[in-house]
Amino acid sequence: MPRASRYLCDGYTYHLTQRCHNRSFLLKFACDRNAYRKWLWKAVKRYKVPVYGYCITSNHIHVIVHADKVENIGKMMHLVTGASAQQYNIRKKREGSQWQHPYQCTVVEDGQHLLSCIRYVSMNMVRAGVVSDPSQWKWCGHDELTGQRSRYRILDIERLLESLRIDSADDLYRIYASGINEQLEKRDLKRRAEWTESLAVGNKAFVERIAFKYSGRRTFDYTSLDDSACDTQWAVRESSPSYS
């Protein structure tokens, strides 16, 4: 999986993922998920990072961000992981790391590919069998993406509209919810590894352009993906793992 520190560049949208240390369920209690969400909200406000989606599960997190300034994403993640880990260790009277480092990133092409990624992140706990609808998992961006949350919002809806090329928030809420409902009706709960294991996801020209930026460092494999929401969707990943 691509390391964020190696691949982040200004001007792109990224799906960030990070697991708890040793894949342990260190966020299994609501108070710890609440703490992570609180620090994410604070970090977003402090460093002005546009966030498009997120999900806090029991043993890992997803955050979709746009990189206006790469250094601000690093600062945001450093604050959230450091502060939430400190709070967790104090509460549990323990020492040691709470997070597996480094966090990972996948570049996502704006437009329909980004919308598919956002829905995928929102559906995380439905795929895990914990809830039957993303509205039942309050530690994700679903409420904001359907216009249901008015306080302590994390998502930058105005910037998201630009990246999705959608005219209004009401249109976003309708289009997003329609796709979620369709997946629920079809029981489309397949795990799609491209969103977490690829360097980039988008149309073929987009992923080739991203791979070309790093062609001097790595060799890459391309995969054509079946996604009914997009006319064409491709993923590119490193030919061999960058780390173990």
Q: What is the pLDDT of residue 227?
A: 67
Q: Per-residue confidence at 79, pLDDT binned at 50, 70, 90?
A: very high
> Are 32 and 84 a contacting pair, CB within 8 Å?
yes
Please state the rounded mean pLDDT for residues 104-128.
Answer: 97
Percent of the chain with pLDDT over 90: 79
- Whether the per-residue pLDDT at 244 is higher than 60: the answer is no
Structural domain contains residue 38: yes
Number of domains forming the structure of the chain: 1
CATH code, 95: 3.30.70.1290
Structural domain contains residue 244: no
Q: What is the pLDDT of residue 1?
A: 64
DSSP code of residue 60:
E
Q: Please name the amino acid found at residue 203.
A: N
pLDDT in tens, 183-229: 999 999 999 999 999 999 999 999 999 999 887 767 788 899 876 56
Q: What is the pLDDT of residue 46?
A: 98
Q: Is the peptide bond before 241 cis (omega within 30 degrees of 0)?
A: no
Q: Per-residue confidence at 23, pLDDT binned at 50, 70, 90?
A: confident
Note down the domain range covering 191.
Answer: 4-238
CA 159 to chain CA centroid, Å, is 16
Structural domain contains residue 243: no
Token digits for 163? 């990246």
Structural domain contains residue 161: yes
> Are 27 and 36 a contacting pair, CB within 8 Å?
yes
